[in-house]
Structure 1
Amino acid sequence: MNTQAELKMSNNLEEIHRLHTFAEEFCTPFSVSPSALNMINLSLEEVVTNVISYGYDDDKEHTIIIKLTMEDQPASQRWLLTIEVWDDGLPFDATAQATPDISKPLDEREIGGLGIHLVRTFMETFEYRRQNMFNVVTMKKNLEKESGTV
């Protein structure tokens, strides 16, 4: 059994709050833990904020599409959440960015990269592809099933 949902939003930082509502409403029937939902929300926010902040070289309105798919994994007693973020911005592979050196003190670290590091930490997979003039970031997260859920 697969369940899917899609959100279209503009490239405006004021729309970020819609991501959280969308993810929470989608995950509710699957009894996703608050901790896992927090990881999902932070990962979504990081990717979409980067698209809005750095992905466009014009001031025009663009559409960003977020697709969520929940797939039943009966053999492992888990759900597999797949998140896709589609944008028509400049080609950019965030997955190719170097991992920041988090062993250094905060004041000695280079700026940037920590959000992408968190996405890599929170998600089982973090992939990029360019498809038909779109950047497509795919993230996957295994989620434990609670007894008695959908």
Structure 2
Amino acid sequence: MVARLTVSLTIWLIVNHKLWDEPRSDSLATVVMYYNLSTVLTLLITVFALYAGLVVLILLGGLVVIDPEFMTAQIRQEATVANYLDIAWLSAAMGVVAGGIGASFDSDLDVKRLTHGQRMRQRVYTDNDPDTDDVSRNS
């Protein structure tokens, strides 16, 4: 369930914000593949970390706020940590999905600036003319 949610949200963010790059030429295919791979891995790790962090925070908050006797009365069985964990992962899943939907309202340009190193990208996508290449000037 966690893996499916993480992968689905990552795909949603990539498609919605057009983060998947197509190579402009055959010589850049490898570089673009690495950019795409780094984007996918970064988003997967970030979404998973967000989800795991939310589960922990909600679990701790639930243990503090929800009285075990009240939980027992509501679910009509003895309240266990597993019940609190169920509440935490469900709440965190809804929070992560809501965050993904909320990210849809961010501009594509802002998201690309956050996920891609624009300076490096501009350097790599130039024609590597020594007059325009920052790397060769700084060497």
Q: Which has the higher strand share?
A: 1
Tell me the TM-score normalised to structure 1 length: 0.34
Q: Which has the higher helix share?
A: 2
Larger Rg: 1 or 2? Answer: 2
